[in-house]
Structure 1
Amino acid sequence: MAEARDYLLNGVRYHAVRHGNPTKSSLLLLHGFTGSGANWSEHVSVFSKQYSVLSVDVLGHGRSACPPNPNRYAMPLVATDIIALLDAWQIVQTAVLGYSMGGRLALYLACNYRERFSHLILESSSPGLATEPERAARRQSDEALADWIEVKGIEAFVKRWEALPLWASQAQLPDGVRQRLRQQRLQNSPVGLANSLRGMGTGAQPSLWPCLPTLTLPTLLIAGELDAKFISINQQMAAQLPDGRLHVIPHAGHTTHLERPSAFATAVTHFLG
């Protein structure tokens, strides 16, 4: 059973889907940059056996709105939208799982709305950059990429994006899976992706490193064995989290939920179970 609909949250339209029995405990899913709630389709059938599964197209992605003002995409504002969505669903508390950009958003939510979340799962994610010089340099590169997206268009951007070394391990995916992923990326708006980079990119978001030692809710960090950069980041995170643990998925890169879906689902359900 799935209920898909649009919600007006703080004046902006969001598309979200609720799967499974709404009387069960909830699990909120937040996708990564260039993604949409559809990226979780392979896992919804598994997770919805135990949970009411909630997936949302983050602002600027999928079927959600793409406001022209990049300031509207700032992480604090998007976080208030997600809280408003939980309120619309009458959900007092939920577990939250976020991938990459969605993981940074999930961590921001857990740090700033602690009473609303029971468990935190971060896949291939980070607390952002620790220092202002690092964030300033990243903002500059993200702004340049945002400008490029708006000039060149979505097809050129997706081709450039998929050529990044970060996605090399996706070569192991079946052709059908890679094609579906490409088609999902192509459905995004250049304005939405560009402004998402400007508003809630890694350089734009506040550093969440200071929050980690005070974040007491159970936290699972997931990284792929082939993703050395994020294994290192997540090892540092696990050392600072009071109730954090790191799970490394063998033979996977940045997108563990696609590259090793069974191992990913097992890690999540075991942690929540």
Structure 2
Amino acid sequence: MKGTVWCLHGAVGQAADWSGFTVPGFSIRRVDLWRFLDCCPMSMPDFGRALNEEARRVSGPNILLGYSMGGRLALHSLLADDSPWDAAIIVSAHPGLESEAERSARRESDAVWAAKALRGEWPDFLAEWNAQPVLGGANPGMADRRLLAQRRREVGRSFVDWSLGAQQSLWDRLPEIRRPVLWICGECDAKFRALAERAVPLLFQGTLEIIPDAGHRVPWENPGIFGMAVEQWLQSID
């Protein structure tokens, strides 16, 4: 084995979402993000430090892969002191809102999602979540979200602790990431494609990959091309 790819799922996601993802020569560690919120609140910087502590116990190379919310958490891991990662793959992620007005509005909207996750009918919550235009209305190749009802407390807490509105803007800090980063977005995901095109030039060693025939949920909407892009990039930096 060449090393380990640590995979972070998105909001209202599961570690099992990555069950079909493989990279030749690498072991895959599918991280259950909800266990970090099991007992108490945890900020995004605190998460970064906690995950880094786990990664330091695993002989490298260690590659960090984060999708959407997991991508934002991955950025915090990369920016923490003594970050142990050899390289990273960021998928459909937002480096942060740049005004307090935007962050406040997002905190308010995510508080509504938190309440629905905690107290609403779970199938109704899932249907409304997937109906968002950015998500395309389906879970292509992803694990059954009905099973997540058992973790609804942690899902609800994530809308508070890990809200985009609770995240400080990381735009100015992206040049601090001094390791190779592959930033992936879907061709049909206009908003996150624009974010990726802005973010990659700010990175010390960034590469942009736009996956055709894919929207926000790139790894599951076009898994073949996604997997090939990851494999080829890892070979290029080996």
TM-score, normalized by length of structure 2?
0.90
Gap runs ≥5 in structure 1: 1-20
Deviations 1:140-194 (A, max 9, x none): 11112212322214222111111111122748x4xxx36x44445x445221111
Does residue 237 (structure 1) correspond to residue 237 (structure 2)? The answer is: no
SS in 1 for 2:178: coil
Q: How does 1:154-233 map to 2 (within 5 A)?
A: 154-168=122-136, 170=138, 173=140, 177=141, 180-184=143-147, 186-233=148-195
User: Aligned partner of 1:204: which letter?
Assistant: A
Are positions 1:76 and 2:45 aligned together?
A: yes
1:1-35 per-position Cα deviation (integer Å, ceiling 9, x unaligned): xxxxxxxxxxxxxxxxxxxx5xx422111111111
CA contact (8 A) 1:30 1:55 kept: yes
Structure 1 residues 190 and 115, CA gap change in structure 2 (3 angstroms): closer
Matched, 1:55 2:30: yes
1:33 to 2:14 alignment:
no
**3-state SS in 2 of match to 1:122:** strand
Matched with 1:5 is none
Provide the C-alpha distance between the structure 1 equivalents of 2:132 and 2:29, rounded to a whole number of angstroms. 30
2:70 pairs, out of 98, 102, 105, with 102
SS at match of 1:189: helix
Q: CA deviation at 1:91?
A: 3.6
| Alignment RMSD | 2.1
CA distance in 1, matches of 2:207, 2:60: 25
Partner of 1:127: 95
Cα distance in structure 1, aligned partners of 2:53 and 2:92: 26
Distance 1:84 1:213 in 2: 23
CA distance in 2, matches of 1:42, 1:106: 21
SS in 2 for 1:73: coil
Q: Say if 1:36 and 1:199 are closer, same or farther in 2 by CA, change over 3 A.
A: same
CA contact (8 A) 2:7 2:28 kept: yes
Distance 1:244 1:169, change over 3 A: farther
Bigger mean CA offset, 140-149 vs 89-98: 89-98
Amino acid at match of 1:54: R
1:145 paired with 2:120, answer no
Distance verdict in 2 for CA 1:222–1:91, change over 3 Å: same
Alpha-carbon distance in structure 2 between the residues aligned to 1:261 and 1:149: 28
- Letter matched to residue 124 of structure 2: A
Q: Residue 86 in 1 paired to residue 48 in 2?
A: no
Aligned counterpart, 1:15: none
1:85-109 deviations in whole A, cap 9, x for unaligned? 224x434651111000000011111
* Larger mean Cα displacement after TM superposition, 239-248 or 252-261: 239-248
**Corresponding residue of 2:216:** 254
Aligned-partner residue type, residue 27 of structure 2: S
CA contact (8 A) 1:28 1:94 kept: yes
Decide whether aligned partners of structure 1 residues 94 and 68 sit closer, same or farther in structure 2, where only a CA change above 3 A counts: closer
TM-score under structure 1 normalisation?
A: 0.79
The 2-side partners of 1:199 and 1:65 are apart by 11
